[in-house]
Amino acid sequence: MVVFHALSLFGPLTTVNDAAAIAGTMSRSTALLLLHAVAAVGGTGYCNDRDISCASWARQGECTGDNGEHVKNVCPHSCGTCKIVCGDLDDSCASWAKDGECASSPAYMHRNCPTSCGFCSPKCADLHHDCSSWAADGQCEENPGFMSLNCAVSCGICASTCKDKEDDCPGWAREGECSSNPGHVLKTCPVSCGLGECPNTCADTNKTACIAWSMGDECLHNPGFMFKECPETCGVCSTVCQNKHPNRECEEWSLNGECEANPDMMRRGCPASCGICHQLERHFRYFNGKKDKDEL
């Protein structure tokens, strides 16, 4: 019953029947793996700029200039809207966002509800080894409340992408650290360093070759090449929850009731605007005992 207790901590986010059903299929070793998976994800996310020029624009005062509203939307980190490590600071953020507050009250919402407004991307993971088979069996559509939180990757809500992981990334990139210290900086700052196809995609160019190269420790010995060609295999990519369509489009669709009218598409395409990313963030944060905003 250890697993039942752990899953039932989430109260309304999962049902007792769901938790009991999952618990009945788990061995003790699998339960421990689940606990480690949740701990590794943690319940916080990353706030990243969407253009490699953001740091330069911010230094030039563009965040407060005539084009400030647009620049802040494209450059939330450089413009100080959110720090690299981020998260919603109020349990009501998701409902406020669905009511259109990200657009009508941006000064407050972007700073206090960056996840629900699409600026912060929470880390996530599948929490059971059967997630892929459940997803193939149609459970993402038949049991979305449970599957969206516990099998978010298999259900297409979360995906692998490039994310800077340190506030200093733009400065390090400007100082040439991407090339002088690639082992650390390229892996930690793939967006600021302009690694490969970042920030649009983060995928190995040849999965078979990447695995073979990694077994020879090439990720360690040849990071400049490997992180560009094999970011997934070398651990550069981050699996996160974020809108896959532009935030403005997702916000408009959510405000028009599409999260309820077209739930399957919206869960995958606009999870932040539909409150799924906020729920995932709370799901992992509660498990790790991070209940207060001061712990972000």
Tell whether 228 is covered by a domain: yes
Higher pLDDT, 164 or 29: 164
Higher pLDDT, 134 or 19: 134
Tell whether 59 is covered by a domain: no
Q: pTM for the full model?
A: 0.78
Give me the phi and psi of 35, to 5 degrees please. Answer: -60, -40
Instruction: Quickly list DSSP for 248-288.
Output: HHHHHHHHTTHHHHSHHHHHHH-TTTTTHHHHHHHHHHHHT
| 120 confidence band (pLDDT: 50, 70, 90) | very high
In this structure, are 99 and 182 located in the same domain? no
In this structure, are 131 and 260 located in the same domain? yes
| Torsion, Cα of 189, 251, 295, 155 (10° steps) | -70
In terms of average pLDDT, the best of 6-20, 70-84, 141-155, 187-201 is 141-155
Looking at residue 14, its pLDDT comes to: 41
Identify whether the C-beta of residue 254 lies closer than 8 Å to the C-beta of residue 97: yes
Looking at residue 207, its pLDDT comes to: 95
Looking at residue 1, its pLDDT comes to: 27
In this structure, are 5 and 124 located in the same domain? yes
In this structure, are 101 and 141 located in the same domain? yes
Q: What is the mean pLDDT of the chain?
A: 84
Boundaries of domain holding 218: 169-198+203-236
Domain count for the chain, please give it.
2
Name beta bridge partners: 85: 46
Looking at residue 2, its pLDDT comes to: 30
